Structure 1
């Protein structure tokens, strides 16, 4: 792979040297990558225009998919209801979006690396909170996790964690003695444990739970760029940074437990990428980093059953990082978490078998597979935004398995497997967020001159959904 990139880079550099003086316009000037010229970015102005038109066509097709999903159902496929509304945070959300569009791309290239990550985390928190508070303090934030179907409903009754883990699988199926509420039953015990631990720390109630979810969601804005940088694509990390911050999926990240799932697993992926890099440099910390990555990813298995599919993204990182040792250490970390839960009384496969039965007992039985198998993708389009759609098109046409291509391909495969399984019918704009954030690296493939427009489209998507619909999360 590296030899291929070097050869194409040398070829591009030769073309630059042999070009007539004055013929290197900004549109055709190559971009230096890893000390060589990446000829794949060297295009004529006409070719650039054609590619942009292709991006717009791809977005148009995605928009038609969304429109068809709305027309068939006579309402958006998103989990919520039409309710045009605004709140005190609406003005702040719009101003934040404008600021990100105007200054985001410039900050991405000018800020020092650590400052960029810190700025991204703070800006992401502001974006998450502003979108949540459009619905008001109680409805949009403080009371989101206090409904009878949520995790907090069960926290007070869990007085003995050991007993809870030992009997957890026996209480999943509806109708069994003391069966769990919907969200607790639908996930492994790690999900409810997060909120039990918060309660034990004195951070009880809906407000602290909501803050914890938002804080975890903000970690995505750090993890995705760190992963790309660790895989040798610092320029791509900076390019996609504004898109990670202004992620339309923030509508559902704040406030939902899936924000915790996305944040924890994203950090695991980032730590694995760093472990691969550290292994090549001979760092003595590489094994610890890899095991830590495995522990985070392993805990992810006990946050949501579907997160087993994130193993595809982890495998992509291991291949890109070219470190079998780091990958094996990470696998050991995953195994250690699985063993710890098993010793405590919960076997993952037992829970999975029970949750499939519970899934078909509930509302999923009323959701036709023939509709949701494609309408789910319309929900995903609204969650990731048009910039990711355009980026995915470019990834599809890209030459070579770059980190941007492999990460997005792995995440897309995870989504498609989840989709065809029939165990993801509706609500995927929230459920698939841990996968969706790994589609964001595709935005680094968008031409620099168009990124502000794409950022504006991302912001418009999030603001439109948030103000036109009352989402449950």
Structure 2
């Protein structure tokens, strides 16, 4: 029996043998998720300190509906019914604009399942969030100079959880919004939604710039119906994902000026989350995939990162000092209780709910393609690696780079729970693997993605 799967330049057109690969991948996903839920429930009953009532998700089991429910269903039906077909033929600029608007509608609808106040306006106002600290920032330069002094807990004026756990760039975003008259929870939440939805533009732009125009169109509907939109609306991680994706897109576009701008964006991203050191894997992959001026773009990007870092250092914040203190703060809190033996694999179940059930089958095809490229290459090991990488293209290398980043974060022990939102900046690049799905199956996979988001949002009361 035969079917079709995707190639880096013409998704859905390369014939390949069909087997039990997809059912097996789905079976593995279902088993992993079921095990994480059951073991999590048992551990919670025993008081094991998971600090996640709906483990592997950080939230509480609470079936509910809201006035966002019919809107989310309507968006899902529209994208599933016409999204993939329209994405193949629409004018590029129009397609990107509609993709962003639809992603905004999808994210807002999911958030409003919980209601305006609980889903958006009050989502970022608890004591643990950045907005709690905004009124206390009266002098930005002084705040940066003394930022690391307030990272450790159990001391006067210690930062709240989210502010302490991140470099100061994250706090500065919300301080900036407040300074321009967009203070408060509603404005902050809408900023997360509006910016977070731009990943549906940045990722396809990156693929197109790297010579995978057909793949960009194939992937786009999956970015619009991202199950992780449950956490984009509203958490700061939606903004983080947007900044990372924009930076990588700028690296991919021709020109050293755009590469330098990409470096600036990624340098700022490094000051949004310490974990974004792992974005370097994706950045190097994008630079390696550029068609021209790779070394010039690399130098320009490094200059951009260095410039941002220098500005923060001049203002008094040193990233490496903050990192060491954050590791200590991490184990002053719930991380000391949360068992690594559970979360090191349950994190992957949470990732599945954020990326959707399409992840396993799509990655299976990517790994198969990578193996084929490796087997077709020959010669000494360095030459073989270079040849395999050159032949693989962005639809193979970008998901693999994101996978390496995720596994690095997982094994580090510094990502125990809450990864369904923390790993959003990597999830959107994992979904590049959907370019390899057979064209005729994409509508069904999109339906499964939408069903996952709707089920999570209606069964679990998520927490940002």
Q: TM > 0.5 between the two?
A: yes
Deviation at 1:175, TM superposition (A): 2.1
Q: CA separation in 2, counterparts of 1:230 and 1:55?
A: 30
> After superposition, where does 1:150-299 map in structure 2 within 5 Å?
150-274=129-253, 278=254, 286-299=255-268
| Alignment partner, residue 407 of structure 2 | 416
Q: Say whether 1:343 aligns with 2:334.
A: no
| Alignment partner, residue 329 of structure 1 | 300
Q: Structure 1 stretches (4+) deviating beyond 2 angstroms?
A: 25-28, 30-34, 37-40
| Structure 2 residue ranges without an equivalent (≥5) | 42-53, 374-391
Max radius of gyration: which structure? 1
> After superposition, where does 1:457-468 map in structure 2 within 5 Å?
457-468=448-459
| Alignment partner, residue 70 of structure 1 | 37
Secondary structure of 2:68 counterpart: helix
| Alignment partner, residue 59 of structure 1 | 26
Q: CA separation in 1, counterparts of 2:233 and 2:135?
A: 23
| Structure 1 residue ranges without an equivalent (≥5) | 1-24, 279-285
Q: CA separation in 2, counterparts of 1:432 and 1:33?
A: 25
Secondary structure of 2:57 counterpart: coil
Contact 2:347 2:419 in 1 (8 A): yes
Contact 2:66 2:115 in 1 (8 A): yes
Q: CA separation in 1, counterparts of 2:428 and 2:13?
A: 25
Q: CA separation in 2, counterparts of 1:27 and 1:472?
A: 41
Q: Quick one: structure 1 residues 327 and 378, their matched pair in 2 at CA, closer, same or farther if it must change by over 3 Å?
A: same
Q: CA separation in 1, counterparts of 2:443 and 2:289?
A: 29
- 1:57-83 C-alpha deviation (Å, 9 max, x unpaired): 101101110100111111431000110
Q: CA separation in 2, counterparts of 1:384 and 1:33?
A: 21
Q: CA separation in 2, counterparts of 1:31 and 1:454?
A: 14
RMSD (Å), alpha carbons: 1.8
Q: CA separation in 2, counterparts of 1:255 and 1:77?
A: 19
Q: CA separation in 2, counterparts of 1:38 and 1:466?
A: 31
Q: CA separation in 2, counterparts of 1:269 and 1:378?
A: 27
Contact 1:369 1:425 in 2 (8 A): yes
What TM-score does the superposition give when structure 2 sets the normalisation length? 0.90
- 1:252-285 C-alpha deviation (Å, 9 max, x unpaired): 11100001100011000011001xxx2xxxxxxx
Contact 1:170 1:176 in 2 (8 A): no
Deviation at 1:38, TM superposition (A): 9.5
Q: Quick one: structure 1 residues 31 and 349, their matched pair in 2 at CA, closer, same or farther if it must change by over 3 Å?
A: closer
Deviation at 1:144, TM superposition (A): 0.3
Q: CA separation in 2, counterparts of 1:31 and 1:464?
A: 29
Contact 1:97 1:459 in 2 (8 A): yes
| Alignment partner, residue 50 of structure 2 | none
| Alignment partner, residue 5 of structure 1 | none
Q: CA separation in 1, counterparts of 2:202 and 2:8?
A: 22
Greater relative contact order: 1 or 2 (C-alpha under 8 angstroms, separation 6 or more)? 2
Contact 2:2 2:15 in 1 (8 A): no
Secondary structure of 2:366 counterpart: helix
Contact 1:258 1:430 in 2 (8 A): yes
Deviation at 1:33, TM superposition (A): 7.7
Q: Say whether 1:439 aligns with 2:410.
A: no
Deviation at 1:42, TM superposition (A): 2.4
Deviation at 1:40, TM superposition (A): 8.2
